[in-house]
Homo-oligomer: A and B are copies of this chain.
């Protein structure tokens, strides 16, 4: 992957993680077995359902979650692999200055 694209990808992921509600959504799905329906997620948050839907959209665009339609519910799954990009960036600061 070319460098510019990698930077953009990391920006998208970090922007998605920068909102507390979105981080909470990820953790909530993760600790409830890795997948949850849209409504179950929305029910656990104080925000209105449409607001949560938009947060889910942001997470999806960052590929931090994937979505699958099942009848009239939509199931979201965490894509934890996408967090690797962040870990790798942070690792620069383990490599010593010297």
Chain A: residues with CB nearer than 8 A to chain B? Answer: 7-8, 10-11, 14-15, 17-20, 23, 26-27, 30-31, 33-34, 78, 80, 83, 86-87, 89-90, 92-93, 97
Contact = CB atoms under 8 A, between A and B. Distances in A.
Given A11-B19, A14-B17, A18-B14, A30 B97 contact: yes
Given A11-B18, A83-B90, A86-B86, A97 B27 contact: no
B97 A93 contact: no
Nearest to A19: B11
Given A34-B97, A97-B33, A11 B7 contact: no
A48 B46 CA distance: 41
